Structures are given as structure tokens and as C-alpha cells.
Amino acid sequence: MDLITPTIILAIFFSLTLSIIKPSRPKDMKYTLALMFTISLIPLNSLLSHNNELTISILPLIITPTENINITILLDTLSLMFIPMALFITWSIIEFSIWYMSTDPNINKFIKYLIIFLITMMVIITSNNMYQLFIGWEGVGIMSFLLIGWWNSRSNANTAALQAIIYNRIGDVGLIFSTTWLITFSSMNFQELLIQYELPSIIPSIGLMAAAMGKSAQFGLHPWLPAAMEGPTPVSALLHSSTMVMAGVFLLIRLYPILHNNHDMKMTCLIIGAVTTMFAAAAATTQHDIKKIIALSTTSQLGLMMTMLGLGQPILAFLHMTLHSFFKALLFLCSGSFIHNLNNEQDLRMTGNLLKTMPMTSSFTIIASLSLMGMPFLSGFYSKDTMIEIMMNSYMNSWALMITLLATALSAAYSMQIILLILTGPSRTNPYYHKETKNIIPPLTRLTLLTIFIGSVTKLSTLQLTPTLTMPMITKLMALLMMILGITMSKDLSFINQPMPPQKPQTTNSLFDQLAFSNIPHRSMSAWMLKSGQQMSTELLDLWTLENYGPKGLSKTITQLILLSTQQKNMIKNYMSTFTFTLLILLILT
């Protein structure tokens, strides 16, 4: 790899930073990102030719007795493939944002926030030590807080932003824990750290797993992801496609040699990923808000990536991450187009017949949904089908395989539900739509073309050395069969439900709906903690401790002054009786 590659990567960083500092119009940002994406393809071409790895370092910033801390950029297959993808998606999202946020008075600030979001993610991707990765890790957390709570006059947006930062802070504790352990017993630099993977340790693995669970919204730390839909749609698109939620899985892919010989942690990855995939897909089928369905779909796909890490396939997880980013960004931008043109209506039950009024957006939605289902020869097929084949041919428990296949069917079901409810059937909204504008067609068209072709291009690239797998025909067709099953279920369900009047939700639906947003920890546990806190602070502390050791205790310990100065006890009857009795005795004796 020649000197051109590091020069180009540094130029991209400096250009993006400069575009934030200097005052500029939103259109200038769009052109800057388009240029940066074009330039970033040059190192990718070099990577395809040589597949080398390069590290750029500057002089140490902090010198310690044990280790020198410096800014180091790692350019390898992961970073050089991720950077063009992130730049392309951000370019499309910012062009969409110029139309979507045109009435916002702070649109310049909004777009600069998106660029900072991208830069912090690129810091994570290219970092070569734990310090640098931690800076980018915290950066994406801060930017997600600011962007999710962009419409801060809405209480739900503020709650969602706080929820995101609190759940991520739980995961960040794990990352700090791992970093501290590595400082003490290993090294901060990834090359030195990964050489030592022959001696696995459970302690840093647990911390990395907790960090990935928080950032990538795995089961247990997932509720912030559907709640984050309170932010503007371009934020949701960037958050779910190429930043933030990908950081957790990417951390495990980058540091996978630490987990490689640790079979307990790999099994934990497998179980958590499989549970997340199944649960999120089931929860998505119970939702009616289009953005929440797509958000739970992201959680399901992240669970699939985690399952691949548990099976020892980090490169396959990275492939799915890359291909998933394009159609997920496209789905969110299409949903933003629908929402904007329906006067902010997000409920699927209030839409219908948009195939005629919004033909371009409808076509893009169909392609993105089919790619998410795993339709053959669209980009999602190349990673999803390969993952299920790998699961079929690996030594693993059948439980994880079964629920992953079920989740595949459910993902096809909710994707088909979106298509049927939005695009077909009678129109259930006000017929006065906004007209589908030409401004959004170029970014959506670009994303659609890559959604169709990026899988084929990746398959034909020289990076992929796929071993030939021999398997029965039914095993080979399993992913396709599950997709067809999910589509059939969704179609039958729509035929059953549409003629019927609205009914009370079933117990199963309510259960998955409650689980998706975890109302139990949010309401029951918080109510119990507040009540017990009130009881402790008032009854235990105020009414008992402070009174007994305060005024009542002092009153018992202080002796009254009259008892110290005289024998007077205020018993007047006894005193008068004694006086009279004594006087009589004296009179008798005298």
C-alpha cells in the first residue's frame, strides 16, 4: 500500500473537520461529501489489488513509564471498506435532509452535527489503540444525544435522548473496565494486544461484550433504539445505517482475536444474538409506527451479526453490516418521505394506496424491503443466505438455528406488512397529499442502485475467498423458504385482519409490545425504587433516626436544672403530709 492511501484518508478527515469549522451552506456540505466519497474509492481500489495493512502514527502525546500514547490510524480491510460506505450514506442523507429539514431555522447546525457524527464514527473505525477508540466511542454517544433530542420542545424527544445516553453509559462501563484491565496487564495498541490472544482472559471479554450490548442495543439494553425514533428521520437513518449502533458490533469484530479462543464468551455472543434476533423480529410484527418497525428491524439484524460472531465468523458479520447499511438507510429515507408527504402521519393503519400518488418512493421501498427479506440477487441475499448456510454447517446448538430461521420468516412478514399497508388497499388518509418532490429522487436513486448491485460487486471482488460448501438442496434453499413463508403469513394475516373491526390487542401482542420498550424496568422498577427511596428518606431517616437521635434523644439525655439544684420534686401532697405528721410528733413530744 503506497503513500497515496494515508494521504487521502488524512485529507478526508481534515476536509470534513474544515467543513464544520468554517461557515458554509448545506449544499456545500453535500458537494464536499460527494467529493470525499469519490476520493475514498482510490484507497479501496488499492486494497482490492494488494490487501495490505498500514498504520500511521504521530509523535507520542503522553509519555508514561510503561506506554506512550499517540494518535494512530489503522488502515486495513475493515476501515478502508467502511469509510467509503459511511461517506456515501452520509452524502445521501444530507442531501435528503436539505429537503426534509428545509423549514428548520437551525438546518446548518443540524447538518454540521451529522458531519461530526460521521467523523466520530470514522475515529472508531480507524483507531489503532483503546484511547483513540474511546474518544470516538464517547463522541458518537454525545452526538446521538444531541440529535435524538433535536426537537427538544417535545418531552418524548428529551426522554428518548436521555434514555439513549443512560443505556449507552451502562455499556460504557464495560468498555472502561476492559480498557483498565488492558492498561494493567496488556497493551493499548491493537497490534501488541492482538498478538497475545493465545492466552484468553474472561475479564476483558466481559467488558467488551457489555460495551457491544449497550451500543448495539442487544436484548436487555435494547429499549433506547426504538425510543430514539423521536428524533428527525435523517438522524434515524444515519444512526441505524453507518454510525452508533454499528460501533458495538465493529468493536467485537476489530478485537475478535480476544474472543477467538474463549468459547464461553462465543457461546454468550451466540445466545444473546439469537435471542435479540428473534425477540426484535417478533416485537416488530406488533408495532404500527413505521419508524419503530424499521428500528426493531435494525435490532434484529444486529442480533444476526452478533450470532455470526458467536459462530466465529467476524468477516461475515462485517459483510452483513456493510450491505445492511445501504438498504436500512434507504428504508428510513423512504419512510421520511412518506411521513413528510402525509403531514407527519406515521401510523401504518392510517396510510394506503400510495403506490399511485408516490410511485418513486414506493418503488424504492419495495426494493429495500425485498433486500431486507433476503430476496435472491439483491444485496441482503448475499450476506443473509450465506449466514444461514454457515449456521447449517457449523457445530452449534439447534436452538439458536431454529429461532434464527423463525426470525428470518418474521422479518419477511413485517417487511411485507409495510408494503401491503402503505402501498396497497384503500386510501385511509386525507387525499390532499404533498406532491412527491424531485429533490429527494437523486439520493434515494443512488441508495437503491447500491442496494441492488453492492452485493454482486462484493461477491465478485478479490477480497472474498468463499470455500465451496456441499449441502442438501433443502438446506441451500432454507433462507428462501423462510422468506416465502413469512410473506405468505403476512399476506394471509392482512386478508384476515382487514375486513374485521378493530379489536382489543391479544396477550401475545401486548407482551412483545411491552418487551420492545421494556415498560417493566421503566415503570414498575422505577416506581418501586422511588417509593422505597421515599420510605427510607422519610420514615426510616426523618421520622425515626433524626427524631430519636435529635430532639427526643437530647431531651432524654439532658437533666433538668431544677433536679440538679434542689430536692424539690413537685409532690405537694407528700410534702404537706410529711410536714403535718412531723409537726404533730413534735407537739406530742414537747
The number of angstroms, rounded, from the C-alpha of 275 to the middle of its chain's C-alpha atoms is 16
Look at residue 499 and tell me whether its pLDDT is greater than 60.
Answer: no
What is the average pLDDT across 301-325? 91
Nearest to 438 by CA among 506, 512, 361: 361
Q: What is the DSSP code string of 473-535?
A: HHHHTHHHHHHHHHHHHHHHHHHHHTTSPP-PPPHHHHHHHHHHHTHIIIIIIHHHHHHHHHH
| Higher-pLDDT residue of 144, 529 | 144
Which residue, 205, 229, 204, is CA-closest to 296? 229
- pLDDT bin (cut points 50, 70, 90) of residue 506 is low
pLDDT for 71 equals: 86
Q: What sign does the CA torsion over 285, 287, 288, 294 have?
A: negative
Indicate if the pLDDT at residue 99 is higher than 70: yes
Q: What is the pLDDT of residues 518-573, one digit of tens each?
A: 666 666 777 778 888 777 777 777 777 777 777 777 776 765 555 555 555 667 77
Pairs from 524-532 (Cβ < 8 Å, separation ≥ 24): none
Write down the pLDDT at residue 312.
86
**Calpha distance 141→248 (Å, rounded):** 12
What mean pLDDT comes out for the span 506-517? 62
Between 489 and 87, the more confident residue is 87
Minimal CA–CA distance to 204: which of 183, 184, 179? 179
376 versus 510: the higher-pLDDT residue is 376
Look at 62-76, 166-180, 304-318, 527-541 and tell me which has the smallest mean pLDDT: 527-541
Q: What is the pLDDT of residues 381-398, one digit of tens each?
A: 888 888 888 887 776 677
| DSSP secondary structure of 152-220 | TTSHHHHHHHHHHHHHHHHHHHHHHHHHHHHHHHS-SBHHHHHHGGGS--HHHHHHHHHHHHHHTT-TT
Q: What is the pLDDT of residue 562?
A: 54
Arithmetic mean of pLDDT, 330-356: 87
Higher pLDDT, 516 or 269: 269
- Does residue 354 have a pLDDT over 60? yes
Contact 217/305 with Cβ under 8 angstroms?
A: no
Q: In the structure grid, which three cell numbers stand for residue 35, read together?
A: 467529493
Query: Would you state the pLDDT for residue 436?
Result: 77
Cell 446448538 -> residue: 397
DSSP bridge partners of 55: 74
Side chain identity at residue 290, one-letter code: I
pLDDT computed for residue 133 by the predictor: 92
Give the pLDDT of residue 427: 75
Q: How confident is the model at residue 460 (pLDDT cuts 50, 70, 90)?
A: confident
What per-residue confidence (pLDDT) applies to 548? 75
pLDDT band with cut points at 50, 70 and 90 for residue 92: very high
| 183-207 tens-digit pLDDT | 888 788 888 888 776 556 788 889 9
Which has the higher per-residue pLDDT, 504 or 53? 53
Asked if the model's pLDDT at residue 327 lies above 80, the reply is: yes
Q: State the average pLDDT over residues 64-91.
A: 87
**pLDDT range class, residue 463, cuts 50, 70, 90:** low
Residue range 44-63, pLDDT digits in tens: 887 776 767 888 888 777 77
Could you tell me the residue ranges of all domains in the chain?
3-498+508-517, 560-589
**195 beta partners:** none
Please report the pLDDT score of residue 88 as a whole number: 95
Confidence of residue 34 (pLDDT cuts 50, 70, 90): very high
Q: For the chain, give the percent of residues with pLDDT over 70.
A: 87
> Which of 119-123, 354-358, 545-549 has the highest mean predicted lDDT (pLDDT)?
119-123
Q: What mean pLDDT is reported for the chain?
A: 84
Cell of 257: 482475536
pLDDT at 193: 82
* Cell numbers placing 513: 409490545
* Predicted local distance difference test score (pLDDT) of residue 204: 86
Please compute the mean of the pLDDT values over residues 425-449 and round it to a whole number: 79
List CB contacts of 479: < 8 A, sequence separation 6 or more: 374, 381, 384, 385, 388, 389, 408
Angle at 580 between CA 577 and CA 584, to 5 degrees: 135
Residue 584 clears pLDDT 80, i.e. is over it: yes
Beta strands at 68-69 and 62-63: parallel, antiparallel or unpaired: antiparallel
